[in-house]
């Protein structure tokens, strides 16, 4: 992808199959960055991805604590419902979700079609069930004796969750946040379905459509845009790498 992005446009158009070039060029990156509202597309993707990461991991953590540490009516059935929600293919839900958010928009425009709120909500709906199941193992692995000791010291349930439990399961939270960020950042299906006419609310994958043309695709710009899309994911991954490795190791043990 990087090598194709650095190839001159003439070499790509001529069908040059060599994986390298002796005359690298940044023209493809310049064409991508010159797209109208490119910065807005980038910020939209960043807003949606970060919102999903923060909200979905926070809600999933609290739900995992409730489903693991407390006993209440229909807890098992709720766990089964969460599991079933992960089994339904995204493609099968796209049309029903379209009409659902169309109805939401009539009541609350901010979460309706053509708004970033619809993308945030739908990705939260798919990220939370996975995160709950993953975090349950981390929460269950924390000894109950720690909670009992905290209560003896006068800590409330909320204080125990915030000051003791959360730091211990932080690697799992980080692992969930990485999966949520990647799936949201790379989303094309929902962005294409929900953002119909409001181009100012388009995301980065939608910006790449500019270079797909009926007569000839601009593969250099497509590859350059894909490289630019990958950079935030790499930065996010490097920033949480240590926590992610320990989190995945904890998930395997669980």
Residue 25 within a domain: no
Does position 233 have pLDDT exceeding 50, yes or no?
Answer: yes
> Which residue in 121, 134, 117, 235 sits closest to 175, CA to CA?
134
pTM of the complete model:
0.85
Residue 33 lies in a domain: no
pLDDT-derived band at 119, boundaries 50, 70, 90: very high
Q: Domain for residue 10, yes or no?
A: no
> How far apart are the C-alpha atoms of 205 and 38, rounded to whole Å?
11
State the chain's mean pLDDT as an integer: 85
pLDDT band at 246 (very low <50, low <70, confident <90, very high): low
Domain count, the chain: 1
- Tell me, yes or no, whether 22 lies in a domain: no
**Rounded CA separation 161/33 (Å):** 45
Query: For the segment 53-92, what is each residue's pLDDT rounded down to a tens digit?
Result: 999 999 999 999 988 888 888 888 888 888 887 788 888 8
d(CA 191, CA 185): 10
Is position 26 within any domain?
no
pLDDT tens digits, 141-186: 888 888 888 888 888 888 888 888 888 888 888 888 888 999 999 9
Q: How far apart are CA 117 and CA 55, in angstroms?
A: 12
Range of the domain at 82: 38-218+229-253
Tell whether 23 is covered by a domain.
no
Q: How far is CA 181 from the centre of its chain?
A: 3
The CATH number assigned to the domain holding 113 equals 1.10.3720.10
For residue 115, name the pLDDT band (cuts at 50, 70, 90): very high
Cα separation, 139 vs 69, whole angstroms: 8
Q: What are phi and psi of 199, to 5 degrees?
A: -60, -25
Reduce the DSSP state of residue 102 to 3 states and report it: helix
Asked whether residue 204 is domain-assigned, the answer is yes
């Amino acid at each position: 992808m990087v090598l194709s992005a650095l190839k001159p446009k003439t070499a790509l158009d001529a069908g040059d199959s060599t994986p390298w070039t002796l005359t690298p060029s940044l023209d493809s990156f310049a064409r991508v960055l010159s797209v109208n509202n490119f910065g807005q597309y980038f910020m939209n993707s960043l807003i949606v991805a970060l919102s999903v990461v923060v909200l979905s991991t926070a809600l999933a953590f609290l739900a995992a604590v409730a489903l693991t540490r407390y006993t209440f009516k229909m807890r098992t059935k709720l766990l089964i419902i969460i599991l079933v929600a992960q089994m339904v293919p995204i493609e099968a839900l796209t049309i029903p979700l379209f009409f659902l958010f169309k109805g939401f928009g009539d009541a609350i425009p901010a979460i309706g079609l053509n708004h970033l709120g619809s993308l945030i909500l739908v990705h939260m709906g798919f990220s939370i069930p996975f995160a709950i199941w993953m975090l349950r193992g981390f929460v269950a692995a924390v000894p109950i004796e720690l909670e009992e000791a905290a209560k003896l010291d006068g800590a409330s349930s909320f204080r125990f969750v915030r000051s003791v439990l959360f730091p211990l399961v932080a690697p799992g939270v980080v692992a969930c946040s990485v999966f949520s960020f990647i799936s949201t950042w790379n989303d094309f299906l929902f962005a294409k379905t929900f953002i119909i006419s409001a181009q100012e609310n388009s995301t980065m994958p939608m910006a790449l459509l500019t270079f797909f043309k009926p007569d000839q695709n601009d593969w250099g710009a497509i590859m350059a845009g894909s490289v630019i899309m990958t950079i935030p994911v790499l930065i996010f991954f490097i920033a949480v790498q240590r926590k992610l490795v320990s989190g995945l190791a904890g998930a395997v043990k669980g």
